[in-house]
Structure 1
Amino acid sequence: MKIINKSFVIFKKLFLGILLFLFIYFLCAFLFSKITVNSDAENQSKDVTIYIKTNGVHTDIIVPVKNEIKNWSSQIMFENTKSKDTTAKYLAFGWGDKGFYLDTPEWSDLKASTAFNAAFALGNSAIHTTFYKSIKENNDCVKIIISKENYKDLVTYIEDSFQFGKNQNPIFIPSTTYGKNDSFYEAKGKYNLFHTCNSWANNALKSANQKAAFWTVTDSGIFYHYQ
């Protein structure tokens, strides 16, 4: 009987500890996402148009396929997409857990093991790229015009997120894609409860000296600063 009571006490403390952790986690995620960094971004020069785009859960950073600063098509190959269409003008980047990306095309496909591995940094990461011919602005897609200097910093941030092969190009992942114009590449870093796909996108904006949340794990934490 004593053993049962002791086990119950331990379980109760563990359960309460988990509840307390979750309360603090979500409270901090909410409060920190409302704090704006780089609030003076509007006063900067306007040279390069980029976009932030969400699918309701995940945020992508969208940039020109090529300009005088960077030609992404020399590294993110059109040939790695199903359509192989070279007329695209924009390229989206999203970082995330490799298991989520490759094994969970729909939320109905999500496995408990995939979610556990992602939450506790047990998996690898990948970058999802998508070519677009045009971009339509709406509540889920916001245009941001930044300076050339800030775009250079954004390029550096994105490049530093890739794993590169012996040919000095990002390592392509042959896999099932979401559509005809996207592809996957090996990435650096680990997805976890404190560094999600949206944290990566938020940090991308920070690197480009643009408005961003102090810290966020959600897409709403990013778009809050662009309402």
Structure 2
Amino acid sequence: MVNPVAPAAIRALKLARHTLAGLALLVGTFMLAAWVGSSLPRNRSWTEPAAGVPIMVETNGIHTAIVMPLVTPQKDWRGDFPAAHLGQPARPYTHVSVSWGERKVFLDTPTWSDLSPPTAIGAVTGGGGLLHVAHYVRPAPSDTARIVRLRPAEYARLVAAIERQVLPPGRRTIHVGYEDWDVFYDAPGRYHAGNTCNQWTSDTLAAAGVRIGRWTPFAGGVMKWIPRLPTR
């Protein structure tokens, strides 16, 4: 006698295999497109000056941010990002780190182990944006915080690009950060797989004129354009 369950189980197994194969193909295609897109340069002829305004591009391996002096002739960030919004406002802060990302990922995942599948899927398919602003005291350059020097006019364009993301006080909410030296602010923009936190970093650098990849959904696609510190 033929077991009627067997054909159904076989069909289910085949469906699962086809689904997994389709997902693997989709992920592989996305990864290849990201590699190609991040390898195509914008501002191809740009060269870093020997002297200028030093900024940093920092990464934790997944997310990237732009670190800038707190005060320069081009911009005093204390007006947009006052230390009074921090848990420890009295520290002698010298730099500010700015990045953009998806609201729920920022607010609901203090560590990457806290990232849930619904939150990740929501970010990929589309979510609101936030600015993450951290304040530093004399940050040291490293392989994960690399210095880039900009001409004064280039830095002014970088500032202008970031300023466009800063909502006026009456239109933004301040959200508590992970530590006592960082904070989140409401920001415009829609996060999705084609417009990630790392794409925001490269778009902002490109607006300043920096040579950077065209489509950089991953942190590595940004950092491969930022020279490492010379080894001694």
**Which residue is 1:129 aligned to?**
133
1:183 aligned partner, one-letter code: V
1:73 aligned partner, one-letter code: R
Deviations 1:127-158, CA, capped at 9 Å, x for gaps? 11011111211111111111111111111111
Name the larger-Rg structure.
2
| Contact persistence 2:80–2:166 (CA under 8 A) | no
**Which residue is 2:230 aligned to?**
none
> How high is the sequence identity, in percent, across the aligned residues?
25
**Which residue is 1:85 aligned to?**
90
Structure 1 residue 223, shift from structure 2 partner = 1.2
SS of residue paired to 2:110: coil
Which stretches in structure 1 are left out of the alignment for 5+ residues?
none
**Which residue is 1:62 aligned to?**
67
Instruction: Give the TM-score of the pair, scaled to structure 2.
Output: 0.85
| Contact persistence 2:48–2:150 (CA under 8 A) | no
Q: Partners of 2:14 and 2:190 in 1: how far apart? A: 34
1:42 aligns with 2:59: no
**Which residue is 2:78 aligned to?**
73
Which range is displaced more, 38-47 or 186-195? 38-47
SS of residue paired to 1:125: strand
Aligned CA distance change for structure 1 residues 130 and 83 (closer, same or farther; 3 Å): same
Which stretches in structure 2 are left out of the alignment for 5+ residues?
228-232
Q: Partners of 1:31 and 1:174 in 2: how far apart? A: 36
**Which residue is 1:174 aligned to?**
175
SS of residue paired to 1:41: coil
SS of residue paired to 2:134: strand
Aligned CA distance change for structure 1 residues 54 and 141 (closer, same or farther; 3 Å): same
**Which residue is 1:197 aligned to?**
197
Let me know the Cα RMSD of the aligned residues: 2.4
SS of residue paired to 2:131: strand
Deviations 1:191-224, CA, capped at 9 Å, x for gaps? 1111111110011110110121121111111111
1:200 aligned partner, one-letter code: W
Deviations 1:149-176, CA, capped at 9 Å, x for gaps? 111111111111233343xxx724232x
Q: How many residues of Structure 1 are paired with residues of Structure 2 in the alignment? A: 221
| Contact persistence 2:130–2:184 (CA under 8 A) | yes
